[in-house]
Amino acid sequence: MQRRQFLKLSGCFITYVSGLQFNTGCSSDQEDVLAHFPQGVASGDPGPTSVMLWTRAEPVENTASPVKIRLQFALDENFDQLFFERDYTANSNSDYTLRILIDGLGSDTIYFYRFISDTNFSITGRTRTAPDPQSTQTVKLAFMSCQERKHGFYNAYRSLINDDIVASADEQIQFVLHLGDFIYETRNDPLQTPVDENLQAIELGLTDLDGQERNINQFIDGSITTDGIEYAQTLADYRQLYKQYLSDPDLQAARARWPFVPVWDDHEFSDDCWQTEANYEDSGPDSSTNEPSQPRKVAANQAWFEYMPVNLTRPENTDEDLIHSQDFEFIEVTESTNDQINQFNQVINEDNLNAIASLTIYRSLQYGAMLQLILTDNRSYRSDHAIPEDLTGNIDLFFSPRVALPLELQNDLDAGITANNGDPDTFLFLGSFILNPRRFSPPGTMLGSKQKDWFKQNLQRSTSRWKIWANSVPLMRLLLNLSALENNLEDVLISVDSWDGYNSERKELLQFLLDQNIQNVVSLSGDLHAHFAGEVWNDFDDSNNQVAMVEAVCGAVSSISQFKAVENLTRIVQPTTLESQIRELITYDSSLSSSPGTNAFVNNLNNSLLNGIKSAQVATATNDLEQIEMNKDEMVNQHLVYADTDAHGYGIATLETAQMTVELITINNVNQQSAIAAQKKRSTKFVIPWTDNGQQASISSPTFTGPPPFPFAIE
């Protein structure tokens, strides 16, 4: 569709369906096939005069025939004030998904819509257009990520819906930003599953309200790793996942209530992926398995595009030369080895390049005069993880090749040919100097050269009061100072699959903000299944650093929390081992301390990140908040103002002229489906003042509604 325009033939709208075909809505000789709408409805990417609508119209009978459905679009929920009504056709080429761009709408207006097939009606959708580009009205959005279906219920969405229904009109959410991991591509990944004391998966036995077991069906095709992890392999597999995830009533209700603005992370394709490369087998000291997955990447791209209500071809209020996003276009590719890169860290492989180019999703949306929303693709153009997996078996602490890796080693290898002041041939590893495997490689990249230039230009040109970076993985450094244990350990990074693994490019981008005096930029991130908030420094390794921006990271909707995942991996240890020491930095039994607390087991991971290892050790020994604070290491994660690593929930950002307020909401429970489980355990609020004239960005300390997480004191 062209921006602000519908093409018309003989009075009939032309609708672009999933990038696969053009369908008209005026065929009178087509056979009527009854359809229903098992995945609900959705809208997305709102502009001031347009919005994308979505549904899936599945034939009731087992047939591959096209279906004709009617769209009604109105100003009221009873559809008495019809704004638009038209018939459309959906067919099997797009898995019966239908995407309709409605244009010519009023700015900042709520509309209602539904789809009809004979006597079958979809649920009613409610959408809202963006404010006029000159509007300075308050903007309020929610941000979410990581919704592994079988691990928990979507109570986060239910909590958000319940609050929004009773909120006044000027305090309601205007859109939902989804930061990725909308689906998970595996059925039985042990790192995403709670385990018992023998590290055996715990069957949660969750059952939806309709009595159906909350699991993931056997894949239609599927593949399996040598470790027995089953994963989606084909378009049919990925479509199956979206259909099953979207059968959830709370997710359906959320997509029906607000327009969504989605971006992907890794699980929409493959865990910890980069370009078209999977990483399932790269998990041991003797494994450097190359896993090219170009056909899977094309399949994953197609399914995401079919099921997400995104407007990629002509987003409104965007400079024409900065529109890089493109609808999905199928291309035939084969699996071929991704083993050669160019000077921009892109794999020189036609199948790799073609698979990536089948869909381009990075884009920018303007929301009134208050907000420029910049969404990046942090997977399709990134370079490989800097530390080769065949090294990590000797150094990782938690049995994953991208978790808890040494800071200095990570930074040296990420720097590639620029490491060690241009002398990168060797590096120190476990007390010995070894040949640098990245001595001929350029520094690592998360965005790739083309997207990075686009990102910088968007920030330079933006006149919006606030710039939000929809950033699927955290930008802040998250470090455990294990060197304080005095066991010849080094300080480690929680995850090098996030921006901590791409330090060179992070420094480049943040220094760019300072050099160009680009202010009031906020990163909203997900991925790590925990709430975090803090400052983002231009160089976390320089004592003379400056604050370039601030960041808020939301916990998972339902995926296993960071605390529980790490605690799982430290479960079976002997009391005298180093692993036992490390476990006490993650959790301890407060009933054994000199000052017992209310709960037996304490989340000490929060404390280790916020206050350092010495403070965590004192916590284990005393469980005394005063002693914990007295032993805080001011040099550890000094930029971090909040950590709630056992949180499930979401974030809310409210943008006003003088400040942005961010709330990180932690809900009660994801393992029960009830009104109580969907209630808030706590709300943690931060204030980000608007800055001007070179003032340094800042974020306030947290204020709590509800009991704060350990080690924050109850006021």
- Whether residue 640 is contained in a domain is answered as yes
- Whether residue 344 is contained in a domain is answered as no
CA distance linking residue 359 with residue 326, whole number of Å: 6
CA distances from 570 to 399, 563, 588 (A): 10, 11, 12
CA distance linking residue 333 with residue 357, whole number of Å: 11
Beta strands, E only, 195-340 = 223-224, 230-231, 260-262
- Whether residue 625 is contained in a domain is answered as yes
End position of a domain, from candidates 87, 102, 129: 129
CATH number for position 119: 2.60.40.380
Q: Which domain holds residue 438?
A: 389-705
End position of a domain, from candidates 99, 129, 159: 129
What pLDDT score does 198 carry? 64
Tens-digit pLDDT profile for residues 7-28: 332 233 334 443 343 343 444 4
Tens-digit pLDDT profile for residues 25-70: 444 445 689 999 999 999 999 999 999 999 999 999 988 899 999 9
Tens-digit pLDDT profile for residues 504-540: 999 999 999 999 999 999 999 999 999 999 999 999 9
- Whether residue 358 is contained in a domain is answered as no
Tens-digit pLDDT profile for residues 433-471: 878 888 889 999 999 999 999 999 999 999 999 999 999
- Whether residue 507 is contained in a domain is answered as yes
Helix, strand, or coil here: 83?
Answer: strand
Q: What share of the chain is helix, strand, coil (3-state, %, to 5)?
A: 25, 25, 50
Q: In this structure, are residues 690 and 660 in contact, taking their beta carbons and an 8 Å threshold?
A: yes
Q: To the nearest whole number, what is the mean pLDDT of the chain? A: 89
Rounded to an integer, what is the distance from CA 517 to the centroid of its chain? 28
CA distance linking residue 489 with residue 469, whole number of Å: 35
The residue among 277 and 431 whose pLDDT is bigger is 277
- Whether residue 502 is contained in a domain is answered as yes
Tens-digit pLDDT profile for residues 563-606: 998 888 787 665 667 777 888 999 988 876 554 445 578 999 99
Give the HSE-up count for residue 4: Cα atoms under 13 Å, Cβ half-sphere. Answer: 7
- Whether residue 353 is contained in a domain is answered as no
- Whether residue 61 is contained in a domain is answered as yes
Number of H helices, E strands in the chain: 15, 36
What pLDDT score does 315 carry? 80
- What total number of domains does the chain contain? 2
Annotate 64-81 with DSSP letters as a single string: ---EEEEEEEESSTTSSS
CA distance linking residue 464 with residue 657, whole number of Å: 11
Tens-digit pLDDT profile for residues 290-312: 788 999 999 999 999 999 999 99
Identity (one letter) of the amino acid at 232?
A: A
Q: In this structure, are residues 178 and 263 in contact, taking their beta carbons and an 8 Å threshold?
A: yes
CA distances from 47 to 174, 310, 377 (A): 12, 11, 21
The residues, ordered by sequence, that sit 6+ positions from 78 with a Cβ below 8 Å of its Cβ are: none
